[in-house]
Amino acid sequence: MTTPPNSCESDRRRRERWLLILGIGWLFDYGLALAVIGSELLPAGVRPVVALLPVPMFGVFMALLISVLRRLDELERRIHLTALAVAVPVGVVGLMCAGLLADWMDAGARHTALRFAWAVLPVAYGVCYAVVRRRYA
C-alpha cells in the first residue's frame, strides 16, 4: 500500500507545472509578437500593441513564481537567492558584451543582437541554479 502524496508536495508540483506552462506561453507570445511586428501583416499603429503582447503573460508568470518562492523552505530559498546573486552579475557581463559586440557589428546585426539580449539573464540564472543546487545536494 502506498501512502497518499503530501498535499503540500502535490500543491508545489502543480504550481511548478503551471510555471512551466506559463513560461512556455510567455515565450510563445514573445515569438508571436516578434514575428508579427517584423512583418507587414498589421498596420504600423497596431504593432506597438502587439509588441506588448508578452507583458500580461509575463506578469501572471511572475505572480505565480513569487507565490512558489514564498512557499519554499529556508534551504530552497537560499539556493534560489545564491543562484540569483551570481546570475545577475553574469547576466550584466553578458549584456555588456552583447552591447559592445553590437557596436562592433553593422547596424542591422546590432538590432538583431540586442533583440535577444534579455535571454542572457534566464540562461545565466538556470546555469547558476544548477551549480548551486549541486553544491547543496
Share of the chain above pLDDT 70, in %: 85
pLDDT at 108 > cutoff 60? no
User: Using CA atoms in the order 54, 11, 132, 130, what is the torsion angle rounded to 10 degrees?
Assistant: -60
| CA–CA dist 59, 54 (Å, integer) | 9
pLDDT at 114 > cutoff 70? no
| CA–CA dist 135, 131 (Å, integer) | 6
| pLDDT given for residue 109 in this prediction | 56
Note the pLDDT tens digit of each residue in 34-77.
888 877 777 878 888 888 889 998 899 889 888 888 888 999 89
| CA–CA dist 93, 89 (Å, integer) | 6
**Phi, psi for residue 52 in degrees, rounded to 5:** -90, 0
Q: Is the overall model pTM greater than 0.85, yes or no?
A: no
> Whole-number mean pLDDT of the chain?
81
